[in-house]
Amino acid sequence: MSGDRNQCVLVTGGSGYIGSHTLVELQMAGYDVVAVDNLANSNVASLFKFYIVVCTVPVMPSEKRKSVLVTGGSGYIGSHTVVELYEAGYDVVAVDNLSNSNVEAIRRVEKIVGRPIPFHVMDLVNMSAVEQVFDEHTIDYVIHFAALKSVGDSVFQPLHYYENNIVGLLNLLKVMAARNIKNLVFSSSCTVYGEPQSLPITEGHPIGDCINPYGATKFFAEIILKDVHRSDPSWNIVSLRYFNPIGAHPSGDLGEDPIGVPNNLMPYVSQVAIGQRPHLNVFGSDYDTPDGTGIRDYIHIVDLAQAHITSLRKLDEHCGHKVYNLGTGTGYSVLEIVKAMEKACGKPIPYKLCPRREGDVAVVYADAALAEKELHWKTKFGIDEMCEDQWRWQTKNPHGYGTSKKP
């Protein structure tokens, strides 16, 4: 097209069947394109060949963009949340010590959102490093993911978990308080509930009777945050108790890439399905469940990430200290997940029944009604979509990110 700049076309329903094909023709004809879609009956993966803006939630005007510090930003949940933050109109600063993540995740996020991301390799246990990040950037909110997270490892390395997860949080809170930045979304866990006394689990369920040190670190962190708000009500804090995130970004470019042997079920299942491991070890086949294997509430990683956007809006309401469960409200057993993954990949997944793993409970699933009511958040993806997106990630990235952990 002639002129100083290309003309720009807004395409509504841009990820749909007709819309996505029209995008191709528009770009070939020389137009710039902005696509919007609510993804109610389409898939965002159809758009990743374009440099476009995908709007699934209201986007704030550029003159009002606020900045979010994301700790653990190259991790599984953190990296997906960074994508959602950019698409919702926030600026992001990401930090990570790369102890159980890969800097390539940040590169993939930059590809998806079409812009560079300020990223610092640093450890929250190092107070001076935390202070330096806050000195270099203007921060409005903090989303705190950074933590060691393996239930099994925490049983054998409790001191390491307490130091990393608690000291890191304390350093972060001290630096935030000193700079009068008092808006925090905290990554908690359903492990704070311990052995469920009733199901589904509501936020009113007793907490603290944790059966592993990882869960205990999350419980102590919540107590710390409660005390911080009690001592200074100007703090606004949302603690999100995750159930079991699985799946991957619909593009297949972003997913869970554990260092070493996977501790979580889904990456282990995926590696067996693609032939990297001979079989899946199923820990516990004698639980009081229909098939004897443990039952969990699995939630799509994108649904989980989007809850952090609605949580930031809750902070804007000067909400005080709030706690929410994030889950689907439906439990699936390990063997049901295996069957769903077999459906997604089209091949059998061999497994071996093993003794129970210390620190695991039999059945856990959420009542997330409070998050739906107060955060206006609800899950969109079912178990089949979770497995399909996971398999797309695994086949597209058979060795994960497959690059050096160093920037």
Look at residues 364, 360, 362 and name the one whose alpha carbon lies nearest to residue 155.
360
CB 368 within 8 A of CB 240: no
Q: Domain for residue 72, yes or no?
A: yes
Q: Domain for residue 281, yes or no?
A: no
Tokens read off for 74: 């190259």
pTM of the model: 0.84
For residues 15 and 96, membership in a common domain is answered with no
For residues 325, 177, 169 and 364, what is the CA-based torsion angle, rounded to 10 degrees?
A: -10
- The pLDDT of residue 361 is 87
For residues 40 and 116, membership in a common domain is answered with no
Q: Domain for residue 235, yes or no?
A: yes
For residues 50 and 190, membership in a common domain is answered with no
For residues 37 and 69, membership in a common domain is answered with no
- The pLDDT of residue 4 is 54
- The pLDDT of residue 42 is 67
- Residue 25: domain span: 8-54
End-to-end CA distance of the chain: 40
For residues 192 and 46, membership in a common domain is answered with no
- The pLDDT of residue 200 is 98
Q: Domain for residue 372, yes or no?
A: yes
Domain count, the chain: 2
Distance, CA of 279 to chain centre: 27
For residues 123 and 139, membership in a common domain is answered with yes
pLDDT per residue of the chain (407 residues) written in tens, 0 to 9: 444 556 888 989 888 889 888 877 776 676 777 888 877 676 655 564 443 444 444 555 555 789 999 999 999 999 999 999 999 999 999 999 999 999 999 999 999 999 999 999 999 999 999 999 999 999 999 999 999 998 889 999 999 999 999 999 999 999 999 999 999 999 999 999 999 999 999 999 999 999 999 999 999 999 999 999 999 999 999 999 999 999 999 999 999 998 877 778 999 999 999 999 999 999 999 999 999 999 999 999 999 999 999 999 999 999 999 999 999 999 999 999 999 999 999 999 999 999 998 778 899 999 999 999 999 999 999 999 999 999 999 999 999 998 534 44
For residues 161 and 195, membership in a common domain is answered with yes
For residues 44 and 82, membership in a common domain is answered with no
Tokens read off for 350: 């061999």
For residues 45 and 80, membership in a common domain is answered with no
Q: Domain for residue 226, yes or no?
A: yes
Q: Domain for residue 313, yes or no?
A: yes
- The pLDDT of residue 324 is 99
For residues 41 and 67, membership in a common domain is answered with no
Which sequence positions are flagged as catalytic?
214
- The pLDDT of residue 26 is 76
Q: Domain for residue 123, yes or no?
A: yes
For residues 37 and 78, membership in a common domain is answered with no
Q: What is the 3-state secondary structure (H, E, C) of the chain?
A: CCCCCCCEEEEECCCCHHHHHHHHHHHHCCCEEEEECCCCCCCHHHHCCCCCCEECCCCCCHHHCCEEEEECCCCHHHHHHHHHHHHCCCEEEEEECCCCCCCHHHHHHHHHHCCCCCEEECCCCCHHHHHHHHHHCCCCEEEECCCCCCHHHHHHCHHHHHHHHHHHHHHHHHHHHHCCCCEEEEEEEHHHHCCCCCCCECCCCCCCCCCCHHHHHHHHHHHHHHHHHHHCCCCEEEEEEECEEECCCCCCCCCCCCCCCCCCHHHHHHHHHCCCCCCEEEECCCCCCCCCCCEECEEEHHHHHHHHHHHHHHHHCCCCEEEEEECCCCCEEHHHHHHHHHHHHCCCCCEEEECCCCCCCCECCECCHHHHHHCCCCCCCCHHHHHHHHHHHHHHCCCCCCCCCCC
CATH number, domain with residue 183: 3.40.50.720
- The pLDDT of residue 274 is 95
Q: Domain for residue 349, yes or no?
A: no
Q: How far apart are CA 260 and CA 257, in angstroms?
A: 9
For residues 145 and 221, membership in a common domain is answered with yes
